[in-house]
Structure 1
Amino acid sequence: MSLPLTGEVVLVTGGGRGIGRAIALEAAAQGATIGVVDIDGATAQAVAEEIGTDRSVAVHADITDESAVVAAVDRVTERFGPVSVLVNNAGKNAYGDAETLTVDQWQSVFAVDLMGAWLMVRAVLPGMRAARRGAIVNVASLHARLTIAGMFPYAAAKAGLIGMTKSLALDVATDGIRVNAVSPGYIRTELNDGYFAQHEDPDVEQKAIDVQPLGRLGDPREVATVVCFLASDAASFVTGADWAVDGGLGSRFA
């Protein structure tokens, strides 16, 4: 029996660490060849070597740079063929509020979390349309629907990403391309660890754990398995959806 992603060419942005790394490794384990794109070339290369450089390629690229995005997609395509699965995982945050946040901070968050995702989509769509098939999975966040103080403007950018997911899904459905989002809750990643570290409350991490219905934070691989399902033909009738991977936190009234 073939594996679920056999024959797929999967490009993962922010693939050098955290959830992106887990997605790249899981997709490879499910039979795909992988393009690991990251602004940190060393971490991308480490993941590619972990997978095996015969089945993966590391690409050092800034996804907010149009020419770098095109070059990244071209490199993956030259190595393995047209990208059939795009995972827009790269993201960033700036901690502040509407009064203290600078224009540069706002623009840098939206450039990665929203514009970068669109630039990647724009670069892979011609190949997907030519093949009359493809899957795009955008890694959004529970913060797009339910957020807390101190996550400005991350929540706004991720809400925009879900809006883009739904709009794009309708635009490309007749081309045989599916577009979905996953919205992780608290996952053990550098981004969440950074939030805990900069918070003024030293008990903020334990408080976050205490409200988890499952009593723990998620693991990046638990997000990766959902992403890979949505990327596979097993989810052939799923498009325009936003799947929560939050351990039930989004269902809790607290």
Structure 2
Amino acid sequence: MDVGHERGRHVGAGRFAGRRFVVTGGSRGLGEQVVRLLLSEGARVATCARGVEPLEALHRSLGAPDALLVRSLDVSVPGLLERFVEDGASALGGLDGVVACAGGARGRGITEASPEDWAATWEMNVGHVARLVATSVPHLRESGGGSIVVVASVSGWKPGPQAQYGSAKAAQIHMVSSLARELARDRIRVNAVSPGSMLIPGKRWDRMRREDPVAFDRFRGEFPGGELVLTQEVADVIAFLLTDQSRAVTGINLPVDKGQNAPTPEGY
């Protein structure tokens, strides 16, 4: 499904006027916040997610702007993501930046998780980023450079269950430091943002807050200020890394976790 597939630069005001971005996982939560923020400041955006309905709802809520291209796909399926990036770059007239926000995990603890769970978690996170970057780099080069932001996690450098997820996020963080050096000559910056536990409507922590307030209050103790991270707070940091104001910043992992200790209520 494609919506808003029109050529030409978007004319608007803001930090990103005339800029062109690909954002994976842009239909809900943090990804949706990033898409909305970029569009509100003049960018043109191509975004993808697995669910058709959330993408259509996002597009309707924005008044169906021609500044937005959306497509339903699974980023872990080789070929689909690459085709989306190529089509997005063609529709937008090039690329100036990329945000890898899609991700996830499959399986439970080490004695229960299957090899397929580990492989699927790896592909959703590490494989997806590798293929996204590889396909985007030629378009960023044509634009004279750009910025790539990979959404990792506090779980990538602070231990917590499940191991397959933390391992994949740690790999993303290491990948960023390597790619930043590899692509520096092309004037392409690569950085990671590691959100802490985010309070997203309908998701795990929001459900805990409503269904088990005692457990939620206990979990809040992992944050020195007693408050979980909001998606808008993370989106603001991602936006900064996409601007020219961060042109000297590359190869870093930037925690946006309000000083969170353990990433889960399990306490590790």
TM over 0.5: yes
Q: Where is the helix percentage greater, Structure 1 or Structure 2?
A: 1
Tell me if structure 2 keeps the 8 A contact 1:186–1:192.
no
The structure 2 residue matched to 1:47, chosen from 58, 61, 82, is: 58
1:170 is paired with a residue whose SS is helix
Is 1:73–2:94 an aligned residue pair?
A: no
Is 1:144–2:156 an aligned residue pair?
A: yes
Number of residue pairs aligned between Structure 1 and Structure 2: 249
Tell me if structure 1 keeps the 8 A contact 2:107–2:114.
no
In structure 1, how many angstroms separate the alpha carbons of the residues matched to 2:150 and 2:16?
17
Is 1:118–2:130 an aligned residue pair?
A: yes
Tell me if structure 1 keeps the 8 A contact 2:89–2:139.
no
Tell me if structure 2 keeps the 8 A contact 1:95–1:152.
no
In structure 1, how many angstroms separate the alpha carbons of the residues matched to 2:240 and 2:202?
24
1:116 is paired with a residue whose SS is helix
Q: Give the match for residue 100 of structure 1.
A: 112
Aligned-residue sequence identity (percent) comes to 27
Q: Give the match for residue 244 of structure 1.
A: 255
Tell me if structure 1 keeps the 8 A contact 2:198–2:205.
no
Measure how far apart 1:93 and its partner are: 1.6
TM-score by length of 2: 0.86
In structure 1, how many angstroms separate the alpha carbons of the residues matched to 2:215 and 2:192?
27
Question: Gapped runs of 5+ residues in structure 2?
Answer: 1-11, 263-267
Deviating more after overlay: 156-165 vs 77-86: 77-86
Tell me if structure 1 keeps the 8 A contact 2:199–2:206.
no
Is 1:171–2:182 an aligned residue pair?
A: yes
Q: Give the match for residue 19 of structure 1.
A: 30
Seen in structure 2, the aligned counterparts of structure 1 residues 247 and 194 have a Cα distance that, compared at 3 Å, is closer
In structure 1, how many angstroms separate the alpha carbons of the residues matched to 2:70 and 2:184?
30
Tell me if structure 1 keeps the 8 A contact 2:38–2:239.
yes
Question: Gapped runs of 5+ residues in structure 1?
Answer: none
Tell me if structure 2 keeps the 8 A contact 1:64–1:119.
no
Tell me if structure 2 keeps the 8 A contact 1:10–1:33.
yes
Q: Give the match for residue 225 of structure 2.
A: 214
Is 1:129–2:141 an aligned residue pair?
A: yes
The structure 1 residue matched to 2:199, chosen from 159, 165, 188, is: 188
1:107-126 deviations in whole A, cap 9, x for unaligned?
11111111011111111111
Tell me if structure 2 keeps the 8 A contact 1:132–1:176.
yes
1:107 is paired with a residue whose SS is helix
Write the mapping of 1:149-164 to structure 2, written as runs, cut at 5 A: 150-164=161-175
The structure 1 residue matched to 2:244, chosen from 221, 229, 233, is: 233
Amino acid at match of 2:38: A
* Backbone CA RMSD of aligned residues: 2.4
Tell me if structure 1 keeps the 8 A contact 2:121–2:168.
yes
